Every structure is written in structure tokens, then in C-alpha cells.
Chains A and B, each alone.
Chain A
Amino acid sequence: MTTTTGKNYWRSLDELQDTPEFREFLHREFPEAASEFPEGLSRRRWMQLMGASLALGGLAGCRWEQEKIAPFAVRPENRVPGEAEFFATSIEIAGMPRHLLVTCYDGRPIKIEGNPDHPASQGVSDALSQATILDLYDPDRSAAARQIDGRQSFSRSWQEFEEFAAEHFAALAKQAGQGLRLLIEPTSSIAVQTMLRKFQQRYPQATIHTYAPLSRQQQTDGAALAWRQPWRVRYNLDGAKIIASFDEDLLGLHPHALAHARGFATGREPGDGMSRVYAAESQFSLTGAAADHRLPIKSQDIGLLLAHVDALVRADLGAAEANADLPALPAGEQDFAQALALDLVANQGQAVVALGPSQPVAVHALAHALNQALGNIGQTVLLTQDPTQIAGAASLEQLVNAMQNGSVDTLLILGGNPAYDVPGDLDFRGGLAQVATTIQLGLYENETAQLCQWHLPQAHPYEAWGDVRGWDGTVSAAQPLIAPLLNGKSPLEVLALLCDDQRDAQQIVREALATYLGNRSDAWPALLHEGFISSTTFPLEQPASVAANQRQQWVQEIVQQPRADSELVFTPSDSVLDGRFANNGWLQETPDFLTKLTWDNAAILSPQTADQLGIQHGTIVQLKTNGARLELPAFILPGQAAGSIGVALGYGRTAAGNVGGDSDIASVGVDVNPLRSASSPHFTSDFSITPTASTYQFATTQDHHAIDTVGQEETERRAGDLVRGATLEEYQAHPDFAQHMTHHPPLESLWEEPSYEGHAWGMSIDLNKCIGCNACMVACQSENNVPIVGKEQVAKGREMHWIRVDRYFQGDVENPDIATQPVACHHCENAPCEQVCPVAATVHSDEGLNDMVYNRCIGTRYCANNCPYKVRRFNFLNYNAELEQASNELVQLAVNPEVTVRSRGVMEKCTYCVQRIQGGKIDAKNDRRAIGDGEIKTACQQACPTQAIQFGDLNDAESRVAASHADPRAYAMLSELNVKPRTKYLARVRNPHPLLAAPATETHHGSPHVHS
């Protein structure tokens, strides 16, 4: 087989310019927006760098690295050295489409933002997509093909693989693909699906299997059960007055979470139209923490609760259908169900009943029917086709069976890591040994790759052409932002190779999207520029009504499900998801939004359950199911459903890399996949838990050590003052309740306070909108070159995050109210840090910024002691030592050139993204205009999915931040210290149902007095 054009494409410009295809390509395909096509000399530079770093592995010291200096004699259009360029692209993270805008400096992508034009993103992003930039530059990614022949392992080039494949697959093609199996992650990519059809044509006897450890298949199957169509469910939270979430994380790891978060935020404006959120769940989710009413309930009991709600709703609706006899609910659950049913009936067509992907198919069918009965379908609950369904695709179980039967000769695995993440009772590894030829394409030489004869390096999504369909169906393009750093190819390219498709990847994608692009000549560049094609959403499906007897049958099925006292629930990790981000230091160090646990998973259980089992916080427990037994530490979490033990997937990787664990590097956390079974991969009651005698020290970023009674009581006492909140009713009576919660004498300054004539930068954070999702943390880490410090340092309390999300529990320990509060530097006008620095390394700017002068700082740490918000971070050690290592040259590329990398011994903290402020000022000055409101966005603000963070000029009365500061809900944390912070919070307003006891809140108290 000859080399593909894809490979040709990335070679040197000289070579390419001589080819007629390239010329045609340049002239025909990029007439207007040639700049968007990220090619040019600097890409060669990166290729050379990569080549150099590879060569250094074996040849270091032999001679000076040969380097060709290529002058920018002809500068690519729009490329100004040192100035950022922005490219729209899309990626799919475990089936979650994310639509991005990538910032590139000199051809080097360094920062991810949401695509502001894309309807699903509107400029916001999440922690996972922010962190993908670090994966791109991960030096542990595999850099070359590898073949195991006999017992020996050989490093191979793509050329060699192509030669092998030409022979091997030609033979397979001759026998129509008999014995050939393809395992691929489900994808919405039109190009991949088109190529898969081609693959099926070429190898008609071959079988395609799809597998994803985190799938929403049960929801789709539920739709199929209810309406005979495997429809996808999409929620429109924008218009929802009542949001009922059952074991579903609408705002967190849902594929459409960013749109949900925005819709949720719209509905949370305090006032008459404010939405009410109910959540019933076993594990705490972002949605549960943000809910007005949260019911901790075991996952196995969700179905019954939903059946009760369904019955109550139908009774209220006056349905004549007889309801099956349902076992009674405990009082608390009954109240919850009743209040929810009343609200659902009162808000027909404006409510959402959302059910989590872990629930059984019958429960999903019931939820679908309930939404239909409430008239929500077509309003707030939308049904569309599911683009990830591949006709004729088989499951992983079928593949494992086939492998064990010996009916698989050649297995091709494109992406994924089944050897690690399949349920324990599926002997995928054993099956793999039965297969004569195994070929795996992956970003890393992971657990699966190690068992395959051929491992091929996969191109990172930022290095390859592709396309992604948004959750609503919007056709979105994925374009390479940099040449493959490590010589990888995308699954699409490998499929093309095996289908003997000579086109390059760009052409394949372009032709696959032809029907959507239409005939306009500028449609393709426009797509690359915008990132998506508008008006390509899926048409909405109109379901027929569900027959009553069918519904009864589901209810029967739910009622008959066995119920046990305890259950073991497998959850995706907020940080590493299903393990794919195990080697991503940013995500490993991002604390779980609730437990604040980093670099670990744990058996999460409620205080009550822990008491019953005699388990202490940190006790190592043994979990045992039929097939497996393992030990992991117990984490006691208030609000966890009693009897429900949660364990996060994605940890305990043994071939992730230097961060997540490798053959000679200890794993991060414990792999709980062996405990899962294929029949119940999400939760099971068939297990046992026993405490052992050993204990474990967690690395958490809050409550670093188990807290004592004195501290606990004080925390509870203070929490209401720090995170202020009231019910909607209280708010409507006293909109300025938050400002009346502290009492102190008039605040006088010792010094004459400066006035700020020009700009006065300020921030506001709406706690009513903050869902604690950590997007701001990772965005800040990426923007500001915040180092990763590792588990031991986090355990010591030396994490470096410039913005953190504080979390407080309030009220009942079994069902607490959660408050989250992002805290970064408050840029106090009377900054206590500035006064005590002996060398004047932290000083005030005339725009009110509390500037940190790194090269003046000698590290006395007095400033950090005196900071009441404890937002200052100190480089106790050289946390950037890794960047200096030759083997980590690649990681250096992820560094933002606009921000200093700090040395050891230096204090650092949030700067309000001063580099962005300066950039905005320079732009405005060049254009001789005023800086517009919203023009300068801090990284945290830009990422925030609910847009809870506002930043701008307080001197501009029209600015959003000035309006926020003037909001009656606005208050300054610790205002009684007279530090005059520039960041203000907007107090939380909850909207409880009158029938349910209102959550404990601080109320307005006292007569007229001085207040902040």
C-alpha cells in the first residue's frame, strides 16, 4: 500500500508546494480564510522540535542538533509573530460533544475556550475540555507504532505498518472480511460513520462492535421501549420551570451539560419566574448540589420513587388508568414525591423529568411516558435521532464471546481502552489472547495496547481532521491546530487506510459533509471559520402515546426489582472520567467538587452507613463481589444516600503514563472495574463491604484533616455569613438581606484612600448560579501556567490553584444543603498583603489591581499570612522543575507565553488575568476607542458554564459588573475587616416548595445598623 496523502500533507512546505494537489487545494479550498488553515513554517518548527526530542532519546550528546532556520520571508496571512490566533473546532469526549475556540500562539495551541458562536457552547466550556490541551502535549503519548512479534517488541514506522496492513487486509478483503472485527467507540462523526459504511462494504463479513464505558444506551433503549425508536433525549432547561433530576447529572457530565447549565442559570434569576429544581440521587451530583430540594435515595430505589411520582401525577391529571399497587415510600420520600407531583402538574409543558443513564431501561421508559403525559415532549423535552447508532453494530459482550469461540482472526481496536475499563466479568483480556492478529490505535500505549500485537499512535483530536455532531445535531467541524506532534493518525485516517481510500483526511471529512455544505464555494472555509453549520439540528420526533398496559408493565417490572439494604454504585470520575484523563495532571489535581479529593478515588458513604458498618473516615475497606475483591479507603460524605456506597471509575490505571500510573509508577487510586458485571455495570447490591485495620491519608484541598467538633461548629456558624442565602420569599420581602447580615462599627481607614480615576477593575460572582463545576479552576490553571504539585504536596496543603471553589455543608448531616463559592484574589483596595511585604513585592496599581511583582518577591510569605481570604499560593519547591527536563520539552509547549512561569520561593496569586486586561487595553488604544464592557474577560469568567462570574470596569456605570455590584443581593465577604474587596458575591436565593421544610438559611435580623 502506498503512503496516504494525509501523511504527505504534513511534510515540508517545499515538498508540498510542488504537488499539484496542494496547489489546487490552496487555491480552491482556501480562497478567503487561508489563515484558518493552520499550516506554515512554525508547524515545521514543531515537527523539528519533536524530531529533535525523539532523537535525543537515543542520540543525546553525539552532536549538535541540526536546525534549519526558516525565515518568515513570506508570512502566512494574518499571522503576526507573538499574536494569538483563534480557531474553531469541536471534539468528542467520551461521547460528549464540545465545541471549542482554540487560542494559538505561533502555530501552537495553548488555550481552549468555548466557541462563542456555537449554539451549544456560546463561549463557555468545562473542566474536561479545558484540560485536553495538556493531553495534546503529554510526553507520555505514544510516538511510534509498535509490533510485538513472538516475544520481542519492535518499534515500527507507519510505513512498515502500511506494508503489513496492505498484505494482511488485502487477504481479508478477499475473504470478504471473514474473521475481522472492528471495535470502536461510539461516535457522532459523519465522516467516521461514512467510512465505516465503506469498511462494511469492503469487508462485508466483518462485524463492527461499539463500546463505551460511559454510555447513555439505557436511555436510548428506554425510548425504544416506549416508542419503538432509539431516540435521543434532549432537554431544554431554558424554558423549564420545574426541573426534576433522578440520578442524573444534568449540569455535570451530561453531554449537553453546557447548554443545560446556561438554561439552568437563566431560570435561577431570583424573581417570580424562578425555576425550582428537584433532585433525587444516590451520589451527589452538581445538579443535586444546586437543587432546591435534594433527596438522597439509593439508585436502586429511584425507579420506585419515579413510579410514585408518576402515579401521583396521573391521579392529579385525572387519568382513569388504574395504578398498580406500589409499595409505600418512607415519609421523606413521599413528601418529596407529592410536592414534585404537584409542581409537575401545575407546570405542564414547562417541566423536565430527567433520568440518569445508570437507571434500568424500564425506568427510562416510564420517565419518557411521564414527560409525555405532562406535555413536556416537544417543549422542554425534545426527541431526536441518535447519531451514534451504527446500523448492524454489535456489542462488546458479543465480541468477547466471539473472541473466546475463536471466531475472530483479526481484531482492530480504534481508540478506547477495553482491557482496562470492561466490567470484571467480561474476560476481554483472555479473549484477546485467542485472536491471531490484534491491532490497536490509541493515544497512549495503554493496558489494551500492551496486549495487542500492533499498537499505532493515535493523533490527538487537535491534530486531525474530523467532524462532530452537536447533541442537538449541529454539524461541527474538527480541524487540526498543529501537525501531529507524535506522528499519530486519527481513527478516520486508519479506517481510510484499511479501506484503501487514498484521499486525505480533510477531503474525506469535506466530502462526507457535502450534503450539509451545499454548493456554495465558501461553505467549507465558512465551516472552518464558524466551526459549525447552522440549521443542521436534528428534526424533532413526534412520539405516539404510550399504551396504559405497557406502562403498567414497566411499573410492575420496577416494583419487582430486588431491593437490598445497600448498594454499590459505580460513577464516572469528575476528574478522570472513565480513566481516559488519568495521565492529565490538571484534572488529577482538580478536586472533586464535593469531597475536594484529588489524586484518588474512594468508597464514598454516608455518616449513618459508616456508623452502621463501623467505618471511620479514611479506613481502608474491602469490597467484594462475586468475581473480585479489592481494597480502597472510605470517605464519609454527608448527603450520600444511606446504604449507597459510591466508587469512582477511571482510577488504578497501570499503563496510563508517568502521571496516572505505569508499570514502574504507582497507580493513582484503585481500579474498581473488576467489581462491575456486564449485567449491572452501574450499580449492584450483590457485594459486601468490610473494614480493615488500616487507614489512609487523603489529599484533599479543603478540610485537609479530619475536622474536630470545635472546628465543625465554627465552620457551620461562619458558613452562613460567608455564603449568604435566603429563600425566594425572604428575598422578595428583603431583596438586600445579604447586606444586613454583618454588624460592625463604621469602617475607617488609617490612610487616605486612593481614588481610582481611570479604570477600576472588579468582579462579581453570582452564588445563585455557581454550580461548583471546577471549569474556572482548570481554565485558570491553563491560562496562568499554574503548576501541578502532585498528591504529596496537596496532602501537605500546598496546592497552587489561583481560584478555588469552597464548599460548605449546612443543616442535616444526612441531607445537607451545599453551598459552593469560588474564591480568587479579591484585589482589596485596602490590601492587607501589601502593607506587610518588606520588599514591596505586592503593590496596588492605579486601576485597583493588587499586583504581584514576581521578580521583586523574596518569599517571606508574610502577605499570605495576612490575607484573610487565603488566596495566595507559594512555590515552596520548584514546581516547574518538570518543564526544565529535556524529556518534557513537549510540556513546555502548553505554557502560555503571556504569563510568567514562577520560580521557587515566589508568591503568586490571581491577577484578574492582568495579561488579558493589558491586551484589551492595547487593542482599544490601537483602535483609539474605549474598552467595551465584556471585551476583557478573565479566564474563569470565560469558561464559567453558568456565566456566574462577571468582570469589568466598576467606573463604567453601564458595565455588567457595576450593575452586579449595585444589585441588592451583592455583598463583600469579610467586609467587616475593611479590606474593601473588589470582588463581590451575589447571595444565593433558593426556591423551596412550601410543602417541604425550607432549607436552613440565615435570615434577616436586627434593627437599623451599619452594614457593609
Chain B
Amino acid sequence: MSTANLALNPELPPDRLLDGDHDYRSITDTVCQIVERPQPPKAWYVAFAVSSVLTVILFGLVGYLFVTGVGVWGNNAPVFWGWPIVNFVFWVGIGHAGTLISAILFLFRQHWRTSINRFAEAMTIFAVVCAGLFPGIHVGRVWLVYWLAPYPSQHLAMWPNFRSPLLWDVFAVSTYATVSLLFWYMGMIPDLATLRDRATTRVRQVAYGIAALGWTGSARQWSRYEKAYMLLAALATPLVLSVHTIVSFDFAVSQIPGWHTTIFPPYFVAGAIFSGFAMVITLVVPARAFFGLKDLVTIRHLENMTKIMLATGSMVGFAYAIEFFIAWYGGNPYEQFAFINRALGPYAWAYWTMVTCNVISPQLFWFKKFRTTPWLMVVVSIFINIGMWFERFVITVTSLSRDFLPSSWGYFKPTAVDVLMLIGSFGLFFTLFLLFCRYLPMVAMAEVKAVMPKPDTTAKVGNTASAEGGPQA
């Protein structure tokens, strides 16, 4: 089954996933020393200070929003949904790479995933945290947001409206968040046990001990673990597709020209994977440099990710083209105008920013140099992230700003609160991510060991081999 690696990168030997001369012990040391060293690098402190300040700003603004009302944003009539929803869809999209890497690549036996899956899963969780924040605070009467939940209330004596895509969204995102968290946490248990076993202080011992849930690494536990991991992966796989499909229903099920299109589900999923991988690259390239993980997260890993971005980016570009084609072919004048307006109307700047970032920039990955030079990848990935944010902006705002009646057309202008909340959400994301880097194993040690060539070069599948690659270093 490791021929799949060949397909992705035929130049490297199929069993060679790591650089350097590593054995089990060195892997463990490399990963654990990040967590165990008494002081993190200075850069960590700087980054943490900046991102935590931004997080404080975010929550300060949320407080201001609660006191004042959603009028603090630039939302208006007809653009009733503005940046908060754009941010929500953006962050949910970012959250896609993690589960895709963990679940789908796992099921397809893509062993190269092991070096980056922990990382990507953590990113997923944090992105979903950021995403979950926005729809929650977005409602007008935030103190009643729990009415979205279908609970048997005697006070209201009614259920929510199950016909509303927003309600589906509540289920989809909360399910996704729960399963992702479980998957991430469960996958981390053997590594947490390693940290527990290596702990030199009582605090660490207790903390990691609790988190490790009594893992001993017995064969029975490994057997259960492998099965549970497989099941969760199977459970998470449809979610990768379903979450963004249902998020896209928020738009597709409504009747606004520019929203009401059947292409949205696949297009949203492709876009989400695209943006998710771009974010992984953006994070992993500096992280592997700072924390000395270049041997574990190799150029080959990065290159594989750029190839996925090239593929999904091209799908996204194709979807943009198809949208225009269908608008013309469908003969609906409102739809036609919605797309002409995107490209030539007052938001043309946003549309062409999106096209430049999302369609043109991933094509650079046809060039080997872009696929193998980390800093170039980061630059392109940042452009892709910008482009994907603008994609959601274009969909949400331009469609709403000009719908059926020209008398009601409007133009959306963000306020300082809009801008600071977007920046603040990045602050929250990076704060959580930096805490993760400092306190949790960034690379799935157990899984990496399982795919190392030396102990078992005849390994058929990663998970059977991993039984031997336990945490005992």
C-alpha cells in the first residue's frame, strides 16, 4: 500500500519518510525536548505576547458588542451578514485540513501524514474554536443564543425550525468540533503517556498522568486503541465533507442570486481543504524551523501538501469558472447580474483579489522550486489564505449587497470593530497554537515510529506496525 507514496513523490524511496539518522529514541527526544525544556525560545514569548494581546482585544470587543449590540459592526440592510459570517466560514474552512489529514489520509494509508497530523489536527481544533465564536456572538440577542439548541423547553414549548440551514449548521459544526477534539485527543494519549513517563517534576507527572488516562502501552491497549482510532477516522471522514457542505447550505438553500447555486457543496469542500492546507504550511514551516523538527517534517511532506493545494486550488478555480458558465447558461437574469456585478461592480476589487490569490497563486506549485522552497511556500500560502478569506467575503457580501430590488441595494463598509475582531481571532488562534506547541507533543511520536523503515521494512500497513512502535523509548 505504500505505493501511494510513490504516486505523490516518486523521487524518494517509498519507505523513506524522515530525514536524518533517527531511531526511536531520537524521535522521542526531538519531540519531547520541545515540551520539556525549561524555557521556550524567546521567539515563543514574543509571539505569545502579541497573540495574547490580540486575544484580549478580541474578548474586550466581544464584551463591547454584548453591551452595545451588533450595530458595532458594519452590517446593514441589505448586507445583514458581514464579516462575522465571513470569518466563520473562513475559520471552518481552515479547520478542514486537520481532519482530512488525520482521517481520510489515514484511511487511504498515506503514511507521510504521520509527521504533520497532530499539528494539523490541533490547528483544526483551534480554527473551529475561532469559527464557533462568530455565529455565537453574531446573533442580535446573544443572551438567547441557546434557543438554537433543540432542547425540550417548557418555557417555549416548541422546537427550533428544522427547515432552517442555520440549525443544520449548529449540528454540523458542533458534531465536527466534538469528533475532531476526540480524535485529536485520543491520538495523543500514547504520546501524553510518554511525556508522563519522562516527567521530571511532580506537576508535569500529575498533569500528563491525568491526561494520559492511565495508558500503559500494553498490547491489549494498543489493540483497542488501533480499533478506536480506525473507527473515529471512519466517523470523521464523512464529517470532512459534511461540515462545509452544510455550511454552504446556509447560502445555497436561500434564494439570493449568487448564493442559490448547487455547486456550492463540492466547491466549499474543495476550498476548505485548499485553505486548510495553506494554513498548515503557514504554521508548520516556521514551527519546524524553530523547534528543530526539520527531520520529522521534511521537504517531502511539504511538497505533498503543495500538491494537494495545487489540486484543490485548481478545483476552486474551475468552480469559479463554472459559476459564471451556469449563470449564463441558466438564463436567470438575477443570477447573471450577480456574477457580472461580482466581476465588474463595486466589489470588483475583492473579486479580483480573490481570483488572483486563489486561482493564479496555487498554479505556482507546478514549479518544483515553489514546491520545495519553504519560504516560497509560506508566501504563496499566505496569499491563498487571503484569497480564501476574500472568497467568503465575495460570496457573502457582494451577493447580499445587490439582490432583487435595486432600490434596496447597499454597500458594506467594515468598522474598526470588524477589522479588530478578525485580527483578534487570529490572536486567539495563535495563542492556542502556541500553548499547544509548548505543552503538547507537536508530532505524533508513536505514529512516526510506526512508519520508520528500520524496525519493520516489510510493514504492510502503518497501524499494525505501530503496535511495536510503542512509547517506551
Chain A positions near chain B (C-beta within 8 angstroms): 702-705, 707-708, 710-711, 714-715, 717-719, 722, 793, 796-799, 804, 806-808, 821, 823, 832, 835-840, 856-862, 864-866, 868-870, 872-878, 903-907, 974, 977
Contacts and interface: CB of A to CB of B under 8 A. Distances in A.
Contacts of B148: 838-839, 858
| Closest 5 A/B residue pairs (Cβ) | A859-B140, A905-B140, A876-B71, A797-B76, A870-B408
Contacts of B160: 838-840
A723 to B, nearest CB: 10
Interface string B330-350: 000100010011001110000
Contact of B403 (A711, A857, A868, A904): A868
B405 A714 contact: no
Contacts of A719: 406
B420 interface: no
Contact of A806 (B78, B147, B407): B407
B141 A905 contact: yes
B301 interface: no
Interface in B380-416: 400, 402-411, 413
Interface string B74-102: 11111111000000000000000000000
A704 B411 contact: yes
A715 B408 CA distance: 11
Contacts of B250: 862
B253 interface: yes
B406 A711 contact: yes
Nearest to B68: A877
Nearest to A840: B161
Contacts of A839: 147-148, 160-161
A874 to B, nearest CB: 6
B167 interface: yes
Interface of B: 68-71, 74-81, 138-142, 144-145, 147-148, 156, 158-161, 163-167, 170, 250, 253-256, 333, 337, 340-341, 344-346, 400, 402-411, 413
Given A710-B341, A839-B147, A905 B406 contact: no
A214 to B, nearest CB: 30
Contacts of B161: 835, 837-840
Nearest to B165: A836
Contacts of A859: 70, 139-141
Contact of B254 (A806, A832, A838): A832
A796 B160 CA distance: 32
B69 A905 contact: yes
B248 to A, nearest CB: 14
Nearest to A836: B164
A837 B76 contact: no
Contact of A798 (B76, B333, B402): B76
A840 B164 CA distance: 9
B-side interface mostly: loop
A703 B145 CA distance: 34
Nearest to B161: A840
Contact of B341 (A711, A823, A904): A711
Given A722-B405, A798-B76, A857 B164 contact: no
B141 A870 contact: no
A919 to B, nearest CB: 27
Determine which residue in B138, B163, B253, B413 has the highest number of CB atoms from chain A within 10 A of its CB, and name it. Answer: B163
A702 B166 contact: no
Determine which residue in B75, B138, B340 has the highest number of CB atoms from chain A within 10 A of its CB, and name it. Answer: B75
Given A874-B77, A878-B69, A858 B405 contact: no
Given A858-B139, A858-B145, 16 more contacts: A714-B337, A722-B405, A797-B411, A798-B71, A835-B161, A858-B144, A858-B148, A862-B164, A862-B250, A864-B80, A866-B256, A868-B405, A876-B75, A876-B76, A876-B140, A904-B69
Given A807-B407, A839-B160, A865 B341 contact: no
A974 B80 CA distance: 21
A702 B405 CA distance: 11
A863 to B, nearest CB: 9
Nearest to B170: A838
Given A708-B345, A865-B254, A877 B71 contact: yes
A-side interface mostly: loop
B164 A838 contact: yes
30 contacts: A704-B409, A705-B411, A711-B341, A711-B402, A715-B406, A718-B406, A722-B406, A796-B74, A797-B77, A797-B411, A806-B405, A806-B407, A808-B407, A832-B255, A839-B148, A839-B161, A840-B158, A840-B160, A861-B80, A861-B81, A864-B80, A865-B80, A868-B255, A868-B403, A868-B405, A870-B404, A873-B77, A876-B75, A974-B404, A977-B404
A860 to B, nearest CB: 5
Contacts of A807: 407
A714 to B, nearest CB: 5
Given A862-B166, A868-B403, A906-B140, A796 B76 contact: yes
Contacts of B70: 859, 876, 905
A798 B411 CA distance: 12
B3 to A, nearest CB: 47
A251 B230 CA distance: 78
B68 A903 contact: no
B261 to A, nearest CB: 15
Nearest to A842: B161
B400 A865 contact: yes
A861 B141 CA distance: 11
A218 B452 CA distance: 102
B405 A798 contact: no
Given A702-B407, A711-B345, A866-B256, A904 B140 contact: yes
A910 to B, nearest CB: 14
Contacts of B255: 832, 866, 868, 977
B170 A877 contact: no
Contacts of B158: 840
Contacts of A903: 141
Nearest to B145: A858
B406 A869 contact: no
A865 to B, nearest CB: 5
Contacts of B140: 857-861, 874-876, 904-907
Contacts of B170: 838
Nearest to B341: A710
Contacts of B71: 793, 798, 876-877, 904
Contacts of B167: 838
B78 A870 contact: yes
Determine which residue in B79, B138, B141, B256 has the highest number of CB atoms from chain A within 10 A of its CB, and name it. Answer: B141
Determine which residue in B69, B81, B147, B403 has the highest number of CB atoms from chain A within 10 A of its CB, and name it. Answer: B69
A824 to B, nearest CB: 13
Contacts of B253: 836
